[in-house]
Copies of this chain bind each other. A is one copy, B any other.
Amino acid sequence: MRIGELSRRTGVPVPTIKYYVREGLLPPGELSSPNQAHYGETHERRLRLIRALLDVGGLKVAAIAEILGAVDDPERPLHKVLGAAADRLGPAGESADDAEAAAADTAVGELIARRGWQTHESDAAAADLSRALAAMGRVGHGAFTELLDEYADAAELVARADLDYVSRRVAVEDLVESVVIGTVLGEAVFNAMRRLAHVDASARVYGVDGAGREGEAG
């Protein structure tokens, strides 16, 4: 199909498609004449993936380019692709160098050892976890580390469900792309669900009539 048809099918404007090609997110079309490129189903599919990662995953173009580069590299084993995706998903920012950061690093190291997690390809995710715990510590919630194993139980539950889905539903040639989709969009799914579960749990424990704040010192 021509670029106009690709645009019509995906809802992505033609200049945006050209921009994605320039940035290396989308392979160029096949030239059928010097001024005419032809696009196929792989382009359409890749374009939908880019939009999903941008719109729902909230990723930046550079992060998507890096993740897709890993997806497209057949030499790279799946867990390294996931490591590359994990590296681009966390909040950018450097770690502080204070007591809370040191305590958080220790807690994360102990957690990974205790769970026996094989996570050497995703140092960035471990660093993000440590940064979030250090931030908790700085606002007076260092004791939040008590919850790490319950969080880890839930994370393993979700990760197992994701892998089961992949093995059940995904053709081998779509494996890597699907795992990236699940990593990014599944995060949006879980976050929204956790917020729903919070509101529900709070309504149950503290009541929906405002009684929960009656005892507040103010």
- Chain B residues whose C-beta falls within 8 Å of the C-beta of A129 in the assembled complex: 189, 192-193, 196
Identical copies in the complex: 2
Is B90 in contact with A191, judged by CB distance below 8 angstroms?
A: yes
**Residues 150-165 (chain A) with a chain B CB within 8 angstroms:** 150-163, 165
Contact with B along A197-213 (1 / 0, CB 8 A): 11111111111111111
Are B79 and A208 in contact, CB atoms less than 8 angstroms apart?
yes
Does A28 belong to the interface (CB within 8 Å)? no
A residues lining the B interface (CB < 8 Å): 45, 48-49, 51-52, 55-56, 58, 74-80, 82-83, 85-86, 89-91, 93, 112, 115, 117-119, 121-122, 125-126, 128-129, 131-133, 135-136, 138-141, 143-144, 146-147, 150-163, 165, 167, 169, 172-176, 178-179, 181-183, 185-213, 215-218
